[in-house]
Structures are given as C-alpha cells and as structure tokens.
Amino acid sequence: MTNAVVIDIKLDLPTGTIPPTQADQSLPAATSYTYPIASSSSSSSSSTAKPSNAEYYGAVRAAVAAAKEDMGAKLTAWRDAVGEGEKEKETRVVGVKKGKKVDEDMDDDEENEDDDE
C-alpha cells in the first residue's frame, strides 16, 4: 500500500509573474508536494502488522483532504499573483466584445423567463 499522496505541479506562468509567498517562502512554480498517509493509530505488538482496509482508507482520505486544503491555498496564491496581469491581457484581447456577450446572455435570460410564464 502507498504511504503518501504526491502532487507534481508545473505552472506555465506569464512572463514577469512575481512568485507569491507562503509562510515567508516563495512558492515554486514547478515542484512536487508529498502528503504522508498516517500509519495505523492502533498499537499492535507486531511492527509488521498491516492496518485494516478501513484504517488505511481513512488515513488516505485524511491525506487527500490535507493535500486539497494545502494545494487550494497554494494555487489561490498563484491565481492572485497572476490575476491582474491576466485581467489586463483579457481586456486587450476581448475589448468591447466582452460587454456585448453579457448583453446577449441577458437577452437569453429574458427569453427564458417569458417561456416560463
């Protein structure tokens, strides 16, 4: 049975992106994170005893939950670091069309409301 959840990331960032910090350290754009699966909490006399499936998968769920929470925080920090540059890029590329799309969506919603009556 596996003893850790491993997540490998490699972010393709826009040029000039300043890495965010977490716990006073810069977050790497490409790295591997390991979240250990806790060993069985029940004490047994034999060090080679394997945990039951329920114990093992409970520990796996806990490791996955820890990974999800930690990666969520890290990726949110990256999203915020990249966000402003991406917003400016979208505005230059999309321009006025973005506003037009919102108006079209509103027209579709109004048509759907008329159908409901």
The tens digit of pLDDT for each residue in 32-67 reads 999 999 986 554 445 566 778 899 999 999 999 999
Q: Supply 59's token pair.
A: 């520990």
d(CA 82, CA 99): 23
pLDDT for the residue 43: 47
d(CA 36, CA 39): 9
pLDDT for the residue 34: 97
Q: How far is CA 68 from CA 18, 56, 83, 117, in A?
A: 24, 18, 21, 44
d(CA 86, CA 95): 13
d(CA 73, CA 38): 22
pLDDT for the residue 116: 55
**pLDDT-derived band at 96, boundaries 50, 70, 90:** low
